[in-house]
Each structure stands twice: as C-alpha cells, then as structure tokens.
Amino acid sequence: MIQISRISNKDALRTCKRYHYSKTIPCASVFYGIWENKKYLGLVGFGYGNSPVLGKKEGFKTGEICELVRIAMSGKQEKQTSYYVMSVIKEFKRTNKNIVAIYSFCDTGKNHIGILYQACNFIYIDRRPAPHPMYKIRGKIIHAWSIKKSEKKIATVVPCHDKLLYVYPLCRTARKKLIKFKKNYPARS
C-alpha cells in the first residue's frame, strides 16, 4: 500500500543528499514523501519556479502553474518510478486547485532526455538554453544569482547545458493550450 504525505524541507534535503545527483533542494518548495508498506522510498517536490515568466508563452497566468523541481527515489520501489510520480501529482492536484499545469526541466548536461516525463505523458514543449551561467569556486558549483562580486574574481565559469521543457496539464483547458506547443519527444542520440 502506497502512502503520500508532506514532509519538511529538512527531511527533503536529507533525501536529496542521498538519492538526487544535485544533493540540494530549491527554495520555496513543497515536498511529498512516498512510503510503500511503511518503507520510505523517496520524494517528489514542487516549487513555484525561478522565472516569473514561466508559463506565459503558453498562455498561463502567474499562480496557475508550478514546477516539478525534484524526484529523489531510493531505487528500492516495487513499481516503476512513473507510478509514484503520478500518484504524487494526483495528491498535489487534489490539494492545489489553483494549479492547472506542472512544468519540469531536464538537464541535457546530465544526459537526461525526460524518459520519466514521457512515461508519465507529460507534453514535450521545447529545448531551452540555460538562463544563467554557473560558477565553480573551490570545487563547489554556484548559481549566478548566488555568487558574490568578490568571488567572481576567483571563480571559473562552468558551461551550462540546454534544458528540455516538459509540461503536465491538470485540466482540459490547460491541455488545449499546451497541445499547440507540443513537439515530438526527444530520443537519445
């Protein structure tokens, strides 16, 4: 039996440090833990995006969309990861009536093409360039908005990779808006 419930940012960070390649959690996020037969499997997290214009191109207003920002699973689950992600999305939809679409990005720099999103029937919209450079300071990767002016002198610019944009509509109206932007799923080269 599967159980889904909100977890704290502290617990989310602990999970991401164990199971997610970034080892981080974004700010302003809501995390849902997933248990099966009382065994903790991981989390799915949602945020309200770093970009205030996210969704505008597709015709959404501020407050109508969110971003799926983390999926961190132990790999010990009994079913495909897509089953758990969709179970969390169903719970998220039930408790967030104002959200009509969920955006998510795949990092091509990690050789991701969105197989999980394809399995969940997300709509593939576009390939977008990374919006901000990243910097490496003393072996640590830092976002452009986090770096101090004094640190830029000793920082190395890290090449950023394109992101693949997927969107999951939560209602018919959102689906109609998104279908106009739908592209064929990318495949591994």
* Average pLDDT score, the chain: 87
Please state the rounded mean pLDDT for residues 165-189. 93
Nearest to 101 by CA among 168, 52, 46, 44: 168
What residue type is assigned to position 71 of the chain? Answer: I
In terms of pLDDT, which residue wins out, 139 or 126? 126
Which pLDDT band, with edges at 50, 70 and 90, does 179 fall under?
very high
Using CA atoms, how far apart are residues 4 and 36, in angstroms rounded to an integer? 9
User: Residue 35 corresponds to which tokens in the numbers above?
Assistant: 């248990």
Could you tell me which residues come within 8 angstroms of residue 77 by beta carbon, excluding any fewer than 6 positions away? Answer: 34, 36, 41, 42, 84
In terms of pLDDT, which residue wins out, 152 or 45? 45
- Sorted by where each starts, the structural domains of the chain and their CATH numbers stand as 2-130+162-179 (3.40.630.30)
Which pLDDT band, with edges at 50, 70 and 90, does 23 fall under?
confident
68-97 pLDDT, tens digit per residue, is 999 999 988 888 999 999 999 999 999 999
Q: Does the pLDDT at position 173 exceed 80? A: yes
Most distant CA atoms of the chain, gap in Å: 54
Q: Does the pLDDT at position 147 exceed 80? A: no
Q: Give residue 170's pLDDT.
A: 97
Alpha-carbon separation of residue 26 from 16, 49, 73, 135, 150 (angstroms): 11, 9, 17, 17, 24
